[in-house]
Amino acid sequence: METATSDAEAEKKAEFGALEIEYVGYGGEHHLPLIMSLVDHELSEPYSIFTYRYFVYLWPQLSFLAFHRGKCVGTVVCKMGEHRSTYRGYIAMLVVIKPYRGKGIGSCPNL
């Protein structure tokens, strides 16, 4: 029963204003552990370090992290390439931790 209570507490929605979320572009190797931790804990598909590096090294301008009071609460990792004489984007990983979901973090129009 204690586990259910702990899980329920962890699932509580975070309270914050939209302006409290800071969006940061991928800034280098120091951001990689943050991205990996979020994806490993929140998504069911495991990725190797090479998969992360493939995206963030080739398209660093298309990877972002969301912070709330210094805590990394979300990330999106993308790529873009030519396809049939136009460009096509691909979202490889999109994660927002559970207490912060449903608040618009993953759909930030400011990026």
Question: Contact, 74 vs 96, CB < 8 A?
Answer: yes
Whole-model pTM: value is 0.80
Check residue 2 and give its pLDDT.
39
Question: Does the pLDDT at position 83 exceed 80?
Answer: yes
Question: Does the pLDDT at position 70 exceed 50?
Answer: yes
Check residue 108 and give its pLDDT.
59
Other residues' Cβ atoms within 10 Å of the Cβ of residue 56:
20
Local structure of 98: helix, strand or coil: helix
Encode 70-100: b = buried (16+ Cβ within 10 Å), e = exposed: eebbbbbbbbeeeeeeeeeeeebbebbbebb
Average pLDDT over residues 2-9: 42
Report the distance separating Cα 24 and Cα 68, nearest Å.
Answer: 11
